Chain A
Amino acid sequence: MIPSDHFTRFYNEVFKFLERQGEADLERYFLEISKNQEKHILELIREKGFEGMRQYWSVIKDEENCDLDIDVNEDRFELRMNLCPSLTKAKDNDAETFGRYCDHCAGWVGPIMDKTGYHLVYDVIDRNKPQCVMRIYKDEAKAREAEMDVRLLMGWPGRKQV
């Protein structure tokens, strides 16, 4: 058994393998993971909207030992990751860290938001730092406006950004 604690280091090896196959291979994998994640989050979002997102990421905060803050208002859901355990472990690693490790997060979240009619603005800030800000809007115009203020805007399969 690869311990669940070490999944991110396994993930890191999968990313490196897939990047060697090509960009499209990496994107197909993000979509597969997104599909896998649907069973955990899709109905929550469809039934409860932002509240469903809060429920899902509150469990993640707890189970994955994340230092993160969630803020919700009428227009948007915001997740501010202060210390990401996933990238932290991928970097605290005797194997080399995949340089675009952070891309997977928008890679699976983005397609789910597209599917549920929300608009994701994912600011990775810096791929070498374990922090990011994810904002999800109901209104597309507000999302496009919010994109103006990000430092490193992340795309996903179906929406190229960087």
Chain B
Amino acid sequence: MTSADERPLRYNEDGNVHLDFHGAVNTTIDFIVSRYGIEAMHEIFARVGKDVYRDIRGHLLAGDADELVRHWQHFFEREHADFDIAVGPDEIVLTVRRCPAWHHVNKIAPSVSPHFCDQTIVTNRAMAEGTPFEIDTVITGDGACRQVIRRRA
């Protein structure tokens, strides 16, 4: 029998990473927001949270936040983020001290979109919508944030 920690993630990429994709996300955010408004951008991020991450959302719906924690651990490690995850009795806190996406865009693009972190805020919110959990995302500085999973009251 395979334990939960050994099961592969739904999306379990390995190999090399292409950080320039974060630059394309930044370009896309500026493009969508300038032509269609911020609501359109949030609609797309919500689709990512609900449809692309349907598997993680399914775990949240079933009362299981561990799959999202494993997802965070895997992908933040892959991109060499400076982060930690604290699992407590009442909440799970992901602290990102250096976000690889924000810092890479800051290096290669003329500017980081003021809506760049909406990808995290809105995708998290959409994943958790209608589940027993809420995910609060607080931007704590340039390329830094805290993401907290709590059971809804």
Contact = CB atoms under 8 A, between A and B. Distances in A.
Contacts of B92: none
A10 B25 contact: yes
A36 interface: yes
A12 B78 CA distance: 22
Contact of B47 (A13, A60, A63): A13
A29 to B, nearest CB: 6
A93 B52 contact: yes
Contacts, number: 113
Nearest to A17: B44
Interface stretch (A1-9, A70-78, A122-130, A134-142): A1-9
B75 A3 contact: yes
B69 to A, nearest CB: 15
Nearest to A37: B24
A33 B47 contact: no
A13 B24 contact: no
A3 B18 contact: no
A150 interface: no
A57 to B, nearest CB: 12
Contacts of B76: 1
Given A14-B28, A36-B24, A94 B54 contact: yes
Contacts of B54: 94-95
Contacts of A7: 18, 21-22, 24-25
A32 interface: yes
A62 B32 CA distance: 30
Contacts of A89: 11, 13
B78 A3 contact: yes
Given A14-B28, A21-B36, A36-B24, A64 B48 contact: no
A36 B24 CA distance: 7
A65 B15 contact: yes
A1 B99 contact: yes
B85 to A, nearest CB: 14
A20 to B, nearest CB: 10
Contacts of B35: 25, 28
A35 B28 CA distance: 12
A16 B40 CA distance: 12
Contact of B75 (A5, A65, A92, A96): A5
Contact of A14 (B32, B53, B120): B32
The 3 A-B residue pairs whose C-beta atoms are closest, nearest first, are: A7-B21, A95-B51, A94-B54
Interface of A: 1-7, 9-14, 16-17, 21, 25, 28-29, 32-33, 36, 39-40, 60, 62-65, 89, 92-96
